[in-house]
Amino acid sequence: MAFDRLVRGVDEWAGARGRGADVFAQIGPSDYRPHAIEWSGFLEPPAFRERVEAARAIVAHAGMGSILTALECGKPILVMPRRGALRETRNDHQVATAERFLSLGRVAVAMDETELPEKLDALDDLTAGPAISRHASERLIRTLRRFIFEGTGP
């Protein structure tokens, strides 16, 4: 689903701050077409990963894939949750995700487009926590296997 609020907010911020050359956006099915930043509708997964690894920081919706990719790559991430009432997603699950990861100190959050410019201004000051593994721990895998095949927990 389109997330024009985020795309427009980042584009307008970059244009107003003269930071357009610093920003690349994967905009998905957005109806808004950026003017100040470089963008693409969609990137293939390897190209997306390459962009994330090269980035100083990530700005994204509060989707688990975006958050986990940033954490795996050891990149600071600013998220803005999609809202169900605005038809950006089915419900407000991204609000809960943003709040939880914020409480863990793993993401910065702009709850809406009015908070976004201030949070973007502070993006260069964000630091990433320790990178997470791309793979589940052996302990988790063993526990899941026992649960699935033996019906027992930890």
Domain assignments of the chain as residue spans, ordered by start:
4-128
Residue 115 · residue 83 · CB < 8 Å: no
pLDDT at residue number 154: 62
CATH superfamily label, 4-128: Glycogen Phosphorylase B; (3.40.50.2000)
Strand segments, DSSP code E, in 16-149 are 24-26, 38-40, 58-61, 77-80, 108-109
- CA Rg value for the chain: 17
pLDDT, one tens digit for every residue, the chain (154 residues):
899 999 999 999 999 999 999 999 999 999 999 999 999 999 999 999 999 999 999 999 999 999 999 999 999 999 999 999 999 999 999 999 999 999 999 999 999 999 999 999 999 999 998 899 989 999 999 999 999 998 766 6
Angstrom distance (rounded) from CA 108 to CA 126 = 8
The sign of the dihedral angle between the CA atoms of 100, 78, 24, 10 is: positive
Q: Is 40 helix (H, G, I), strand (E, B) or coil?
A: strand
For residue 99, the model assigns a pLDDT of 97
Dihedral (CA of 89, 86, 101, 134) sign: positive
Neighbours of 75 (CB within 10 A): 18
